[in-house]
């Protein structure tokens, strides 16, 4: 059975733009987020409160967030540590995300920490966020494969998922950071998480389309009962600390599939496509999304 409704967690403005070579002007980012909200997206990840030297593309978080915080949508932001949380809370953020890794190599590259040191860094972040009634998402990168370590054992992923939930995260996002997952692997991981008592409603999926598997993987997750799917408008993005990561699943491709399945998302596909075409013009190159190309072809 497939769900009747899916919540799309839009990551283009954060995961997409963090991976651009150039820095997009703050006003353009704000307009991008406004257009995404206008297209019917209800969860729009806005930016990251990380070290500006690590992700210079998002160094304008303090300027950007107040430009969009009036929107009637959820605007989660990434915070790696208490310093990041302080920066987000002072601006009135109501949803934050910490970001763990299932592998040691990526924990080191992305956070300058071991897996367990990173979890220890997140613990007070989650505790303080929950005390402030702020919703917390726990990302988990490299859930399927890692560019340095190869295939990632399921038990290794399950351990970190449980730590994130035990510390109080409301939701997980299982990241296929380099896009190597295939549907059978997705089913196996989700089955193991269910076996271990992780409720499906607490699971989101975050696929990258490197090998063209993102939609097939999404369908496998929906069949397991997952109803939160991450996607990036126009297929923007990747990850600056993972060499072989290419674009995220494009939101338009996801909406096209869900519409065909009769699954409600609340998204207006024409408006969303127009937004991605507009953004592609700002970035000076076409969107890699097949759906954007098909719908904008004249």
Query: Where along the sequence are the contacts to Mg ion (CB under 5 A)?
Result: 15
Among residues 55, 68, 125, 214, the one that binds ligand HMG under rule CB under 6 A: 55
161 is catalytic: no
Closest to ligand HMG by CB, 48 or 291: 48
Nearest approach, Cβ of 123 to ligand HMG (angstroms)? 14
CA angle 294, 212, 48 (to 5 degrees): 90
Closest residue to Mg ion using C-beta atoms: 15
Nearest approach, Cβ of 34 to ligand HMG (angstroms)? 22
Q: What is the largest CA-CA distance in the chain?
A: 53
- Rule CB under 6 A: is residue 84 a binding residue for ligand HMG? yes
- Rule CB under 6 A: is residue 144 a binding residue for ligand HMG? no
Burial classification of residue 268, based on how many CB atoms lie within 10 Å of its CB (0-12 exposed, 13-18 middle, 19 or more buried): middle
Query: Computed from CA positions of residues 63, 138, 148, 234, in that sequence, does the dihedral angle turn out positive or negative?
Result: negative
- Rule CB under 6 A: is residue 54 a binding residue for ligand HMG? yes
Among residues 43, 95, 110, 163, the one that binds ligand HMG under rule CB under 6 A: 110
HEC per residue, 201-212: HHEEEEEECCCC
Indicate the pairing of strand 43-44 with strand 47-48: unpaired
- Write out the E strands in 7-111: 7-10, 43-44, 47-48, 77-78, 95-101
| Residue 218 binding partner per list ligand HMG, Mg ion, none, with a CB distance cut-off of 5 to 8 Å that depends on partner kind | none
- Rule CB under 6 A: is residue 239 a binding residue for ligand HMG? yes
Closest to ligand HMG by CB, 49 or 269: 49
Indicate the pairing of strand 145-146 with strand 150-151: antiparallel
Nearest approach, Cβ of 132 to Mg ion (angstroms)? 26
CA angle 259, 264, 270 (to 5 degrees): 55
User: Tokens 């993987």, residue?
Assistant: 217
Closest to ligand HMG by CB, 139 or 256: 139
- Rule CB under 6 A: is residue 204 a binding residue for ligand HMG? no
Site residues, ligand HMG (CB under 6 A)? 15, 18, 48-51, 54-55, 78, 80-81, 83-84, 99, 110-112, 139, 141, 175, 177, 206, 239, 241
Q: Which residues are identified as catalytic? A: 239
């Amino acid at each position: 059975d497939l769900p009747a409704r899916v919540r799309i967690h839009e990551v283009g403005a954060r995961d997409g733009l963090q991976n651009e070579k150039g820095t997009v002007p703050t006003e353009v980012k704000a307009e991008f987020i406004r257009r995404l909200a206008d297209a019917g997206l209800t969860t729009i990840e806005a930016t990251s409160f990380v070290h500006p030297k690590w992700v210079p593309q998002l160094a304008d978080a303090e300027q950007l967030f107040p430009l969009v915080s009036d929107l009637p949508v959820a605007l989660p932001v990434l915070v790696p540590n208490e310093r990041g949380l302080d920066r987000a809370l002072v601006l009135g953020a109501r949803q934050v995300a910490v970001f763990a890794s299932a592998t040691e190599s990526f924990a080191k590259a992305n956070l300058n920490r071991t897996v367990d040191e990173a979890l220890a860094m997140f613990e007070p972040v989650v505790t303080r966020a929950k005390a402030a009634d702020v919703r917390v998402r726990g990302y988990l990168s490299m859930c399927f494969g890692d560019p340095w370590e190869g295939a990632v054992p399921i038990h290794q992923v399950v351990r970190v998922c449980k730590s994130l939930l035990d510390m109080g995260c409301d939701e997980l996002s299982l990241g296929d950071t380099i896009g190597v997952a295939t549907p059978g692997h997705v089913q196996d991981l989700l089955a193991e998480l269910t076996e271990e008592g992780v409720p499906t409603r607490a699971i989101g999926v975050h696929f990258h389309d490197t090998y063209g598997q993102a939609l097939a993987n999404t369908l496998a997750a929906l069949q397991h009962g997952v109803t939160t799917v991450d996607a990036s408008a126009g297929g923007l993005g990747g990850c600056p600390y993972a060499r072989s990561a290419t674009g995220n699943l494009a939101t338009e491709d996801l909406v096209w599939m869900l519409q065909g399945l009769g699954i409600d998302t609340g998204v207006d596909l024409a408006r969303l496509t127009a937004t991605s075409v507009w953004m592609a013009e700002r970035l000076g190159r076409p969107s890699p999304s097949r759906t954007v190309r098909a719908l904008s072809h004249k």
